Structure 1
Amino acid sequence: MVLWRAWQVLWLWLPGIALRPLDCEGEEEGVRWEVLRSDLSHALSEVLHNGALSRDLHASKDSKGRDPAVSYGDVQLQRHLERFQKLVLVLPERSQCALGRHCLRVLVSVLYSGLGWDLWFQRYEDDLWGLVHGTNWTEALAAGWPIFEVLALVADLYGGEQLPADCRPIESELGRLAALVGAKDATDEITSVAGSLLRQPCPLARAAAFAALAAVGRNERNQPLPPAPGVDVGLLAQTQAAARLAAGRRGAGPKAIFAPPMPSLLLHLDDAQKRLHRAWMKRGRVDIIYCGPLAIEEELQDLCSGIQGLCKLHFHQSDWQSPSPCFAYYRSAGFAIAAAASGASAASWSTLLVSPGTWTWEEYLSQDLRRLLQERNRFAREIAVAGLPTLNRSRIFNWPLRRVRHRYWKLAYEEYATGHETSPFLPLAQFWAVGDTTSGTRVYGTRSFLRLLARLSRRETDYVSALPGMEDAGRAAIEATLATEDEGAANWLVMLDLLGKELGLQAYTYLNGASLEDSYQSAARLSPRLSRTFHIESAQFLPQRQGPPQEHCLFPTSSLASAFTHTHGVVVSWCTRRELRQMFLDVGGWWLNMDPLRHIIVPVSASVLNLYRSGETELFPWDADIDANFIAAHPVVIGSLLEEHEEELKQLGYTYILRGDRVVFRTLADTARMDIWLSGPQEVRAYDIRARLCGVRVNFFRDQLAGSVWYYRPGEKIYGNTRGKLLHCQWKGHNACLPDCLRNGLGVGQDGCEFPDRFVHLYT
């Protein structure tokens, strides 16, 4: 026993040195590890428990080529197993997620290799060593990896291994222990047999005893386990320590853990982990938040009565359209939940937002919401936010999924080409649709919800303070400014959509049921608060066929907008580019219409590069100015000409500043400027190359184009006027970031220093 305690201490101490940390987040070589983990768990559950693979998926067909014995789910499972085979071939030898690689290789090998036991073990012994010796079982089970199911599948398909010689005298006790763990109301007998096995010198017997105690919800002191998210971590660690000792013997290696009844006990332990985790999630807390016109406090309290664990209702009755107190109420209730979760684990908490646009309450809505809470809880690791299809007050079915595009000072809610994305998770692909949005009534995992609130707080400081007039404002001044603005409740849901998009949280919509609500996008408004917090100047909440975008400008002058671009390496403000484009269209049209045959416009300087960059209707996105020559075939007295047409220009919305032969045209509010040189007489027919700039006819001559190309080098994209900075973003994460032409001095990357599509332009 003294020797065993020494080994136990050693094996519990070694993981801190020898075990590789569980690094199974993110993507590697095209493999998303959290997706692989979920799909492995589902596939193994089907193989071990539902017997899907026991049916021959390639059986002979009937006269019409069908096999009635094969369900659609079986075919899907087979397709994913084939995908596992392909993934094995592309994973690197040294993967960041060694656990995922070991599990995948072992699963595929036992299903498809066709090797005998000894030859299979010889080939895949390193992967088994990785699962038994190189992985911390406590971390693996807490993260949801099906490590015990993989080992049980090996034992199931290969028939297991003989007990070591020092364990054979107690073979009957081990068999009795395995039978008891699978029986009901046998806890006392299990603890008695386990206590006897713990006194044996056989390490496998002790591993079995620890596993059995953990499987029946005991801790290492043989006491009932208090509410916890899984089996007792102390017993689990001791189970692994004993199993590693048994599997570390020379010659046998990891084979020892496949001796009966160890595989079945580990499978019971895995089942207990899942059962206790589900029970712990149910004992968590649900917060229900509603602000709107319906008197449904009693109905929401009744919804609470059907929820296990603590349930708290946050209720306020008020008109939800702007201006109203509902935005502030939803926000304050969210931060109240965050305060309650401070210092506590919110992993088992859920937050249900009931849409302010809910127009009635029916009993079946309560049923659908209970089911939604249950199903999201079931897939809590995979689903951060979940909603339902919707019915509006005319009982018209509305599909709530939209793709959110928040880039380049613009926001657009776009319809998916074919309705939705498909979940990458195998068990979710058939009954859940995925997108950037879902219904206004939605369930968040509270931990994810709190991440959104924390990000919102940072945005309200960092983004608002970066705008003109707020540079030196402190947090108190910013909050005071934001608090003075009335906000509709629909904008709270829009903000959550945007924050979720930034964090990469996909919204799931459960296909069974419906929420009785009007669309929150139809009530959303591009308010000053929304615009400042998310740096949005143009917002299209509804499809373009239903109306033009809403606008709110953030930069009072073009010089401020240009300075922001130079400082942060972002696309020029949408409003500034729109004003500049319209100015060129108006003033340029004024000049050409004055004498169509004898007046031309010749772009100069960097404006020439629009021929290569932005087509006929747009400016390139990091330019806040247009330089051009207004040329006439007759003599031009600039001062007299401008004085003569001053009133006409003002009616168009523009004024000017005369600086020699250069005229600075600007809007009356000075939101945009452009530099124009007026001259004449000149031979306008020499400018025989025609093009269009921002919808206006312009002219060039061949040598001018050649000179501009040589001087401005349009292939090397720069900004900052004569300072000539290569395009790159200096505000990481900003929605208007320029492409990176620097790559920390490494040169142009795979994106070619180009925007992914034309969404960057004013109108797409």
Structure 2
Amino acid sequence: MIAVLALPKVFFLAFHVTAGLRPLDCDGVEEDGVRWDVVRSDLCHALGEVIHNGALSRDLHAAKDSKGRDPAVSYGDVQLQRHLERFQKLVLVLPERSRCPLGRHCLRILVSVLYSGLPWDAWFQRYEEDLWGLVHGTNWTEALSGGWPVFEVLFLVADLYGGEQLPEDCRSVESKLRALEKLIGDPEIMKHAAPLLRQTCPLARSAAAAALAAAGMRANGGRLQIGMSPGVDVGLLAQTQAAARLAAGRHSGGPKAIFAQPLPSLLLRLDTAHKKFHRAWMRRGRVDIIYCGQLDIEEKLQEICKGIEGECIVHFFQHNSSQRRAPECFQHYRSAGRMVSAAASVSASASWSTLLVSPSTWTWTEDSGRDLQKLLQERHKFARDVALAGLPTINRSKIFNWPVRRVIHKYWKLAYHEYATGHETSPFLPLAQFWAVGDTTSGTRVYGTRTFSSLMTRLEKQELEYVAALPGFEAFSRGDGARVPAIEAALASENEGAEDWFVMLDLLGKDAGLRAYTYLNGASLEDSYQSAARLSPRLSQTFHIEAAHFLPAKGSPGRPQEHCLFPYTSLAGSFTQTHGVVVSWCTRKFLHQMFRDVGGWWLGMDPLRHIIVPVSASVLNLYRSGETELFPWDADIDANFIASHPVVIGSLLEEHEETLKRMGYTYILRGDRVVFRTLEDTARMDIWISGPQDVRAFDIRARLCGVRVNFFRDQLMGSVWYYRPGEKIYGNTRGKLLHCQWKGHNACLPDCVRNGLGVGKDGCEFPDRFVHLFT
């Protein structure tokens, strides 16, 4: 009671503001753009640099390091300075009453002690409320468990301030207190510190409890014993804080009392011990390491496990094939992923991680293991925001490769593009210093196991839904649970490679909105997995991709890898009408090429007397797709081949039949209409051949798929009246306004219906020209 009455009035204000708010309540709290759990991580990093790495006192012109290289000390200090400057700006926007008072106190004290320039007496007077908040308004046990650097903040103040003299009632035990820190690693500390717990001096009791907790002692029923626990002993930590509160309450200078040595140093040792004990006892964690490739690195991967707290399982397979792409590696990654997912579905905690080591890893060094251990630690530290993390890469020619790419998966196409300036910037303040963000990272990567498991579940669903919708797979969409193995067997191919598995993970993550983070410290010694990836039947069918560029284009995009999903144009057209999606890429490519070839053949026979006049919906290309493309939801080309001289269709076609076959086409004659088709019958187009006609009357010229075509004015006006090009429809003249009936499909048409509300602000248009064939 006496101690409470002796407290300064400012304490009651601080206690009123902070009472009832626990430090762990700061997790997930965001106010005025401040994410407090992120600020906490940033504070820990900055204080680690300032205190443990000696950033305040190091010489910027340090001597050479042990390897004869200039240490990058000055650069590191510049970065730390920028880090601290962000704190300065953040303090200016903090609310007077925060939902995370502990974070506010820590941040204000750190910035003020480094930058305020106040004399110490003035500083203590101005920031006494924040100090009282750390001593009285904060539960140290919860703050320490929550990862808040309370003790590091207090130590920094003491280090810069120079400390306070011990009160009179502590002078008799001053020498014993000074010896506490040296005895923390000594078994005799219990004999030395236990009597101090019974001293009348509160600081002595606080220092002794802190020293015993830092030494790993436990208070069991009032008795001290050597103990093993997930962190420092809660009872001793509570005694440390209770005695510190009492000392601050009795002291005329208020919280100044707790800056009397050795308490600040002991509190820092206690913080370090807690982190050490917590790491050593964090047995709920689990790491799965998955690798298949040509390297014999199983023992090296096991060495990574030695540095991991908790359970660690290595799923290793070495293939001896001389070929880089080995189907057994795809199956290994897939089966190991299923095992991890099955285990995660039972009891996965937030601390579980799954490390995939790239099959394109070309060598292994001591740094490789250390870099992966660091990657695991850093991803776990930021686990709330970073579900996927990788590293920069160095290929077998020892060329630095930047792995961050933008993935574009739309309209039956897949493309990996480079970012204009390398990567996106992390939206989280501390991550901007250490992480780059994009759609992809290296092949060697770490997932949070919960996230990885969700991707496996998504893949199973994708195979059921997407594969079963394709021609030839309809039977798999019926039946019971046995359909999954049936589809799996149908998809299996000798062309599969493990690199395809990583592309599939990229696509699953992209569809799920997952961001890939690349940790900027370290490197993975691997070739780019995209360089060995192939558009295999499984990848194509599971994600509805018919054209893929796995490597970023340098200038012209070049020829993509292709795998076609529809054997006939009629099936592709039916799929479009059923699901409201863009016509398959292959179908449009076949039609485009056929029109160029057959149209070029017709014009080439007699350029002055032969013309091509598009009819029906093909006329709408003038309004929609330019000179080289078909508009994306049309699965046919209709045109008239007109001559100024008489034409006998049967004789003409018989005469040129071999020429057409050499070009890859044949035909079916139906009166004056000719159905041209590829030799494999993958695409067809209807052409009407006639003559003689006055070709000069078709005096308006244009190009369709790069081929010269002709019109006359009345024809254009009639087509506009009949086909209503302003209304974007698919099917026929009685077709439906464009809209997608397969929500989430990569080839969805834009929505011209909007639930009956009509065209919206987006104008019923594609966002860019990526929908076309050659973009």
TM-score (norm 2): 0.70
Q: Is the 8 A contact 2:219 2:233 kept in 1?
A: yes
State yes or no: 1:410 paired with 2:409: no
Following TM superposition, by how much is the alpha carbon of 1:291 offset from its aligned partner in structure 2, in angstroms? Answer: 3.5
Q: 1:372 maps to what in 2? A: 371
Cα separation, 1, equivalents of 2:317 and 2:190: 52
Match of 1:551 among 549, 556, 562: 562
Confirm or deny that 1:490 pairs with 2:499.
Answer: yes
Matched position secondary structure for 1:401: coil
**Is residue 2:44 matched to residue 1:41?**
yes
- After superposition, where does 1:58-457 map in structure 2 within 5 Å? 71-84=74-87, 184-185=184-185, 188=190, 192=194, 226=228, 228=230, 271-280=272-281, 287-293=288-294, 311-320=312-321, 321=323, 322=325, 324-340=327-343, 343-345=346-348, 351-357=354-360, 365-380=364-379, 381-382=381-382, 384-387=388-391, 389-392=393-396, 395=397, 397=399, 399=401, 401=403, 403=405, 405-408=407-410, 409-414=412-417, 440-441=443-444, 446=449, 449-457=452-460
> 5+ unaligned residues in a row in structure 2: which ranges?
5-16, 61-70
One-letter code of the match for 1:477? R
TM alignment of 1:728-747, pairs within 5 A: 730-732=742-744, 734-738=745-749
Contact 1:390/1:439 (<8 A) preserved: no
Distance 1:158 1:726, change over 3 A: farther
**Aligned position for 1:574:** 585
Cα distance, 1:266 vs structure 2: 7.2
Change (3 A) 1:298 1:13: same
User: How many angstroms apart in 2 are the aligned matches of 1:353 and 1:737?
Assistant: 33
> In structure 1, what is the Cα distance between the partners aligned to 2:141 and 2:298?
43
Which residue type is aligned with residue 585 of structure 1? R
Deviations 1:366-406 (A, max 9, x none): 412321233113313346443563453xx554626252524
The answer (yes or no) to whether the contact 2:597–2:663 under 8 Å persists in 1 is yes
Q: Does 1:23 align with 2:28?
A: yes
For residues 693 and 664 of structure 2, what CA distance do their matches in structure 1 show? 29
1:584 aligns with 2:595: yes
Residue identity opposite 2:569 in structure 1:
S
Native 8 Å contact 1:461 1:475 kept in 2 = no
- Cα deviation, 1:623-682, whole Å, max 9, x if unaligned, reads 133454426364888975886578365654456677887766554555445565666666
Q: Tell me the equivalent position of 1:63.
A: none
Q: Tell me the residue number matched to 1:523.
A: 532
Aligned AA for 1:79? R
Could you tell me how far apart the structure 1 residues matched to 2:578 and 2:105 are?
Answer: 48
Q: 1:55 to 1:634 in 2, by over 3 A?
A: same
Deviation track 1:425-469 (CA, whole Å, cap 9, x = no partner) reads: 888878877765555555555555444434433433333333333
**Contact 2:155-2:265 within 8 A present in 1 as well:** yes
2:628 to 617, 620, 628: 617
Contact 1:402 1:413 in 2 (8 A): no
What displacement does 1:13 show?
A: 12
Which of the residues 454, 461, 465 maps onto 1:462? Answer: 465
**RMSD of aligned Cα (Å):** 6.2
Deviations 1:508-550 (A, max 9, x none): 36665663x5554443322111222232222233465797322
Q: 1:111 to 1:188 in 2, by over 3 A?
A: same
- Residue matched to 2:10: none
Change (3 A) 1:24 1:148: farther
Contact 1:666 1:672 in 2 (8 A): yes
Q: Which amino acid aligns with 1:550?
A: Q
Letter paired with 2:539 = L
Give 2:11's aligned residue.
Answer: none
Separation in 2, partners of 1:48, 1:241: 22
- Offset, 1:328: 1.6
Distance 1:318 1:241, change over 3 A: same
Mapped to 2, the partners of 1:130 and 1:708 lie a distance apart of: 78
Mapped to 1, the partners of 2:197 and 2:698 lie a distance apart of: 99
1:126-172: per-residue Cα shift (whole Å, max 9, x none)? 99999999999988866756577668778988999999xxx999999
Residue 184 of structure 1 aligns with an amino acid whose one-letter code is I
| Distance in 2 between residues matched to 1:134 and 1:47, nearest whole Å | 26
Give yes or no for contact 1:151–1:263 (8 Å, CA) kept in 2: yes
* Secondary structure of the corresponding residue to residue 632 of structure 1: strand
Kindly report which structure 2 residues correspond to 1:670-685, keeping only aligned pairs within 5 A, or say none. Answer: 670-674=681-685, 684-685=695-696
Cα distance, 1:499 vs. partner? 3.8
Q: How far has the Cα of 1:760 moved from its partner? A: 3.4
Secondary structure of residue in 1 paired with 2:477: coil
Q: What are the equivalent positions in structure 2 for 1:721-732 lying under 5 Å apart? A: 722-727=734-739, 730-732=742-744
Cα distance in 2 between the residues matched to 1:69 and 1:701: 73
Which amino acid counterpart does residue 386 of structure 1 have in structure 2? Answer: G
5+ residue gaps, structure 1, are 5-10, 58-67, 250-254
2:518 aligned to 494, 503, 508, which one?
Answer: 508
The one-character-per-residue Cα deviations of 1:169-191 (angstroms, maximum 9, x if unpaired) are: 99999999999589624874798
Tell whether the 8 Å contact from 1:665 to 1:675 is kept in structure 2 after alignment: yes
The amino acid that maps onto 2:561 is Q
Q: Structure 1 stretch 281-290 or stretch 372-381: which is displaced more? A: 281-290
Aligned residue number for residue 252 of structure 1: none
Distance 1:294 1:374, change over 3 A: closer
Which whole-Å CA distance do the structure 1 matches of 2:402 and 2:642 have between them? 56
Contact 1:42 1:426 in 2 (8 A): no
* Partner AA of 1:370 in structure 2: G
**Match runs of 1:639-678 below 5 Å:** 640=650, 647=657, 652-654=663-665, 666-667=677-678, 669-674=680-685
Worse overlay, 417-426 or 556-565 = 417-426
Residue type at the aligned position of 1:318: H
Q: Matched residues, percent identical?
A: 63
Q: CA deviation at 1:346?
A: 5.7
> Which amino acid is the alignment partner of residue 369 of structure 1?
S
Partner-residue secondary structure (3-state), 2:566: coil
1:707/1:101 CA distance change after superposition, 3 Å: farther
How far 1:75 moved relative to its partner?
Answer: 1.9
Give the stretch that moved more between structures: 528-537 or 745-754. 745-754
Cα distance in 2, alignment partners of residues 637 and 101 from structure 1:
89
Seen in structure 2, the aligned counterparts of structure 1 residues 595 and 208 have a Cα distance that, compared at 3 Å, is: farther
1:479 is matched with which residue?
Answer: 485
Please tell me whether the aligned partners of residues 213 and 233 of structure 2 are also in contact (alpha carbons under 8 angstroms): yes
Structure 2 equivalent of residue 537 of structure 1: 546
Q: 1:407 Cα deviation (Å)? A: 0.9
Q: How far does residue 757 in structure 1 lie from its aligned partner after superposition?
A: 4.5
The answer to which of 81-90 and 109-118 deviates more is 109-118
Structure 2 CA distance for aligned equivalents of residues 520 and 597 of structure 1: 53
Per-residue CA shift, 1:538-584, capped at 9, x if unaligned? 22334657973221122333344344445555443222222232233
SS state at 1:624 partner: coil
Compared with structure 1, are the counterparts of its residues 632 and 714 closer, same or farther at alpha carbon in structure 2 (3 Å cutoff)?
closer
Distance 1:98 1:524, change over 3 A: farther
Find the aligned partners of 1:709 and 1:176 in 2 and give their Cα distance: 99
What do the CA deviations read for 1:288-314 (whole angstroms, capped 9, x no partner)?
444344555566666766777655443
In structure 1, the residue matched to 2:14 is none
Question: Highest Rg: 1 or 2?
Answer: 2
